[in-house]
Structure 1
Amino acid sequence: MTEGNFVDYTKIYVSSGKGGKGSTHLHREKFIEKGGPDGGDGGRGGHVFLVGNKALWTLFHLKFARHVKAGHGGDGGSSRSTGSDGEDKYIEVPLGTVVRDKETNEILFEITEDGEKRIIAEGGKGGLGNWHFRSSTNQTPRYSQPGLPAQEADIVLELKVLADVGLVGFPNAGKSTLLSVLTSAKPKIADYPFTTLKPNLGIVAYRDYQSFVIADIPGIIEGAAEGKGLGHYFLRHIERNSTLLFLVPADADDIKKEYDILLDELRRYNPEMLDKDRLIVVSKCDMLDAELQVEMKKQLDKDFKDIPYLFISSVAQQGLTELKDKLWAMLNTEV
């Protein structure tokens, strides 16, 4: 999937179908001039559903479908025949889609399971035909119910990617390179900040045909929680990851300081982020000789007493098996 095809935010206007009106027909046939009422009911208007589809990873297919309207219910007929129901409309969305009201920004619901179906706009109920209103004192009612009107809604669809591991780091820390060597994903890689402008997902193949999903999130900068840089545009994607992998390059001026800034941005955005499992990975360790790596380990042991850390090099393929083992263990540890 190319970067331009990743869409994680879109606005849609949806409208259900209105209910059909009931019939006021009076029964007529040969030798029966004044038969009783036999008007049928109107049909139900079509619903608009949102349906979870695990095969989708983006909202790109809805980028140009800004209006979705269900069919109207048919009117009732003679001989108590009911009008046809309006055609339902189904909007397929990837798992992790949050549905908000455009006006109030209130979260209406979330789609998190494959095949999960939720009504976003309910079709109008069909009106009753005059057959329902007959009585001993009114044997030929010439009135019926109109159908109920359609429901309309302006909604915002917001995707929070569902991945097991989220890569967190400053721009140009090597996240995309790591994703490319761990998975078959082909993210854009270049030697300048903000190469990645959209989240990239990759499946890490593990032993015995097992796998887990890892997401490369666009780089964080100081002030991201207040909307600087790419701001909230990407931070929401980290909310669903069960494990956070903090990637800090070995040539950073202060590894502890970089980690603290990243962690503080996550805390300010959503304090619940701090409850997730964390792993610190020092990338580009092929730049370090053995002596320098030993010195760095001594410092990291002091700085990170309760948080595990690893040294890797994506380019030199060093420490990647150990990294996969560690992530798999963290993801499958019973709390």
Structure 2
Amino acid sequence: MYWLQKFKGTMNVRRLFKRTKQKVTFFILLTISGLLFLCTILAPEFSSGPSVDISCHFVSNHSLPMLRENDSLPIRSIFFIEPSCVSNLTSRQSCAIESAANSNPNWQINVIFSGMSFQTADNLTQFKKSKNIKFWKINIEEFSKETPFEEFVTSGILKRCHWGVERTLDVLKYLMLRKWGGIYIDFDMIVARPLGTLARNWATRENEEEIADGIIGFSKDKIGKSVAESAMRNIQSNLKNYNFCKSHRLQIMNGVLQGMCSTPDAKFMSSATCNGFEVYGSHFFYPILKESARDFFKPGEIRNHNAYTYYLGGRDTKVYKAKKSSPLNKLAKKYCPKTYVLYSNDFGF
């Protein structure tokens, strides 16, 4: 009987060991699965999109005057922001600046670089006689101090994010509009009409379903500051939800207006439905939809001569060269003639 009891005891120990081994194995597998899941969720935050270099943002050597938080700018200010580390202006960027200055001679055109620093003025010759254009350098770490963006700017997220250029632009855009008010314009636009007749606070539809982030105007009044602060909160929310670097565009104004307007449908957003914040139709600023932007570069005529701006399609048309008889060439000859002459056969890149 003793040997039988001993055998049973041995079997119990083996069963206990087997159950314990199964539990440990299950726990290890569960842990590994959890880590893989977290990697899947968090990895896009810092790996999606093209690899870019924004190390120049943190270099102190520069040849432009520094724009600081305590500087004063005119109420009528237009902002262009270049957040990348490129060393020269493209023909499109130059045309955007020149056309904005020509169409709005009573506004100060602020061209702000968070990374690029001109060592020579060779590629600025077309602006030498333009009294309303100012070129600035800005340090994002210094400019974001004592703002809601200070912590994550200093944390180095922008350096690790593969969409760091785009997120730098978002941060600076709304910090500047919150601080000074004015109008922000993408570099990929040609400005054809004065913007001073527009509402104090406004955005525009890019199409029937989306609000554009490429051109917006905020004043320093209660509405303008409220919308700018909502945009800043939207950026922070994207960071917390791990959406910060998953796409080159966050559609910030879409989210802001859906939260403040009485309708979530962009087609029906207006000052009447958005508490005094105006939303213009796409035909005023995006007369050719992004999907058809290649038409700017093909032989043809200009569509909609009453538009305030013409959007050239951004990264989707980056490699296209404008034909001589294209709408883009015709717009450039009229609204940025110096740039058109300067870049000659390379205009459009």
Q: TM-score range by the shorter chain?
A: under 0.3
Structure 2 length-normalised TM? 0.26
Determine which structure has greater relative contact order: mean sequence separation of CA pairs < 8 Å that are 6+ residues apart, divided by chain length: 2
Q: Which has the higher helix share?
A: 2
- Report the TM-score, using the length of structure 1 for normalisation: 0.27
Determine which structure has the larger strand proportion and give its number.
1
